A and B are shown apart, each in its own frame.
Chain A
């Protein structure tokens, strides 16, 4: 059974550009969430999607957006990139996402460097 797949794994962008990251959840999983990991701020929740609807959102500016498609695949977009957006972006998926103790599986992440 394939795990959570994220593409691209590594990318370098210039300040002011935009970037789109993709996440394919485990087959059968309908909930996808995104996290940003930086050395200074640790792991922070970005947003969660379930059945193509954003269910939760973290405290990030509007430059960070996402969406989920009918096949549960998800993308996140960051516009007008800033140096501080350099981070590991992790995608996680789960079967439903609403019951307590629901097991959440993470992908290997997309490493974004903004120069």
Chain B
């Protein structure tokens, strides 16, 4: 079975500083991985996805993630945090062969301070 582990439940950064949200995955196959963001009282918005093409994936709003098979990681980064980035972020893995039975990490709450 596949799983994802988000290593930090809360991350706090200052506006203008880099963001790093960590995600490790466990899978017996080559996974498809996603990052979603959820703003308060909102649904989930797709930030980016990895599907075994380029290992460095660029997403919306300046976010990017790098797939590292040797480390089984898919960390999310952004060079400079903005106040509007404050939200909860979910690392997600799909089942073998695709499909919509997604497995979510427990989420990382990102706080951005002035």
Contact = CB atoms under 8 A, between A and B. Distances in A.
Majority secondary structure of chain B interface residues (helix, strand, loop or mixed): loop
Contacts of B104: 42-44
B98 A99 contact: yes
Nearest to A104: B100
Contact of B46 (A48, A103, A107): A103
Contact of A106 (B36, B50, B52, B94): B36
A33 B46 contact: no
Contacts of B94: 100-102
Interface in A28-77: 31, 33, 35, 42-45, 48, 55-56, 58
Contacts of A98: 97-99
Given A42-B106, A108-B42, A101 B32 contact: yes
Contacts of B107: 42-43
Interface residues of A, number: 28
Contacts of B32: 100-102
A92 B101 CA distance: 10
Contacts of B43: 4, 90, 106-109
24 contacts: A4-B43, A33-B102, A35-B102, A42-B107, A43-B104, A44-B104, A45-B101, A48-B99, A48-B101, A90-B43, A92-B100, A97-B99, A100-B51, A100-B52, A101-B51, A101-B94, A103-B46, A104-B46, A104-B100, A104-B102, A106-B44, A106-B45, A107-B43, A109-B43
Interface of A: 4, 31, 33, 35, 42-45, 48, 55-56, 58, 90, 92, 94, 97-109
